[in-house]
Every structure is written in structure tokens, then in C-alpha cells.
Amino acid sequence: MINFNKASFLKSTTTLKDAPKGRKKEILIVGRSNAGKSSLINALTGRKNLAYTSSKPGHTRLLNYYDIDDQFYLVDAPGYGYAKGGIDLDKLFYTMMDAYLEDNLYLKAALLLMDGRREFNESDDEMIEYFSSHKIPFVIILTKADKLNQKEKSSAMKYMKDCEIPIEDYLFVSVNDERLLNKVKAKIEALLK
């Protein structure tokens, strides 16, 4: 069993070249800006401010490495689908991701976070396609489940079906629901095997 509460921030990088020494298996966390990536890291580790969260989108601009129980690294990636002040974050995102994925033997899987309340769009489709084509195992996390009514849940499930994501490959999650968080932890442990 992995103790998720034994977590520490290691470093921020822009490229794989600067990845922490003594590499470990990695689980990458990606999703549109504001999807709840940093919040999920805090919730999984039972810490308030391990990862910096913000109501303003586009906060995380680097790859942030977190060591979990000396067993693996959680890697928080910048959000995509957000352009600000003329900077095309998507271009930065894909450049960074391509560099990160290249020859990364340590990456075991990705958690693709999607805000369950928002309309899914082509940038979400693009991410699903991106991981599929790079042959990276991924699980979709539908975040902010506490804010979802039944109709919104159903439409999220329909979108999963349309994207041919099997039911065991997606999860509804809320940062304040221990039961759902435990499901994510179990999923991560399975993906690391």
C-alpha cells in the first residue's frame, strides 16, 4: 500500500532533461486549465497547499514533480486550452509534452482531468487522441462531482461513451469525497504495477 500522505514537492522543470535524479515511475496529471489538477494532488496527499491552486486559469506553467511515499512521482502538468495575453499556452503545452514524453521510460500512465460541469470540447478530444496515439495508458477523472446534478453526470457519461472510453477507465471525483479519492488511489496503484 502506498501512503499518499507521505508526499513532498521535489522540483519544477520545463523539460525532461531536468527531471529529478534517481528517477521513479511517474503518473502524469493533465487537463484543461482550471480542471482541478493541483487540487486533486492536494486532496490525494491530504495537504492543503502542496500544489498551488487558483481560481484563475493558467496557473501552473511548469512540470511539477511530487514524490509520493518514495514510491513514484506525481507530475502536475500545465493546463491546456487557454490562451492569455497573446501567449499560446497550447503551443507551449504540446512542445513541453512532446519533450516530456520522448523516451520517457518512467511514465506509467496519465490521469486526464476534465471538469464535469463544463462542456467538453475539441481540446478534450485532442488530449484523448494524443494519449491514444502515443500509446500511453490513461484514466479520465471527471472532477468537481460535488457540483454535478444527475443530468450533468449523464451527459458526461454519454460523452465518455461517444469517445469509446470504457466505464472502468473513468471516474467521477470530488476533492472532499474520501470514498471517491480512495478509488483514484487504488487506480493509481493498479496503473503503477
Ligand X SMILES: Nc1nc2c(ncn2[C@@H]2O[C@H](COP(=O)(O)OP(=O)(O)OP(=O)(O)O)[C@@H](O)[C@H]2O)c(=O)[nH]1
| Cβ-based nearer residue to ligand X, 117 or 162 | 117
| 34, 60, 64, 174: which one binds Mg ion (CB under 5 A) | 60
In whole angstroms, the minimum distance from the beta carbon of 97 to Mg ion comes to 15
- Beta strands, E only, the chain: 7-13, 25-31, 63-68, 72-76, 83-84, 87-88, 107-115, 138-143, 170-172
With both helix axes pointing from N to C terminus, report the angle between 37-45 and 178-192 in degrees, rounded to the nearest 10.
90
Does the footprint of ligand X cover residue 45 (CB under 6 A)? no
Residue 139 and residue 191 in contact, taking contact as beta carbons nearer than 8 Å: yes
| 109, 143, 159, 170: which one binds ligand X (CB under 6 A) | 143
Q: What is the per-residue binding string for Mg ion in 80-119, x denoting contact by CB under 5 A?
A: ----------------------------------------
List of residues 6+ apart from 120 with CB closer than 8 A: 114, 156, 159
Which residues make up the interface to ligand X (CB under 6 A)? Answer: 31, 33-39, 53-55, 57-60, 79, 143-144, 146-147, 174-175
